[in-house]
Structure 1
Amino acid sequence: LVNNGVICVSEGANMPSTPEAIDIFQSNNVLFGPGKAANAGGVAVSGLEMSQNSLRLSWTREEVDQKLHNIMKSIHKAAKEAAEAYGMPGNYVAGANIAGFIKVADAMLDQGIA
């Protein structure tokens, strides 16, 4: 892929790229979207469905799509900012891992788990 000039790889499954492949992408400045971030849309829509059902609401397809768009933008922003804050700009693997960890850790602290 790198030899053929690829500029971006986004995983479409759960961790299909080997760590070695990710290293090659990153060392060749290929923008790499890890599955945990790129595939979060399915989980997000499931969460939206649960919210919709519990609130007894009925959103249009367009409303769900807009909510999903906002969620995915938020995931991208969190991963990008975390990577930058920890000295790894452009590393969406590290950014997604760090942002995810911080989100879970903050939730645990909010629940009184220290």
Structure 2
Amino acid sequence: MGKEIQNNYLIPHVVEQTGRGERGYDIYSRLLVDRIIFLGTAIDDGVSNVVIAQMLFLQMSDPKKDIHLYINSPGGHVTSGLAVYDTMQFLTCDVNTYCIGQAASMGAVLLAGGTKGKRFSLPN
């Protein structure tokens, strides 16, 4: 298993048993298999590009299945956040948004940009 470091944090890897043996994933790739995107930092151009690419990939994979966007963000650059917001509105699949921790500034805009009736916030 390879180790990657992003922002000085170790990115965990998970191992799954498949019909062909074991398969290792970094945690973000494994979440993506279940159509989960985790936004856990301030929003800048690099972060928005990754989130947008993941959303577009999931849209192309199955435009009828929901995407689940978990947000724990203090906000960030307006133009970067609006690029993610515009992508959410462009997609034909529903985008469920979940606030875990904080969704401030542009994070709050993205939380509100989820599909009506599919926006959630944990109590703290």
Name the TM-score, length of structure 1 as normaliser.
Answer: 0.26
**Higher fraction of helix:** 1
Could you state the TM-score of these two structures normalised by the residue count of structure 2?
Answer: 0.25
Higher strand share: 2
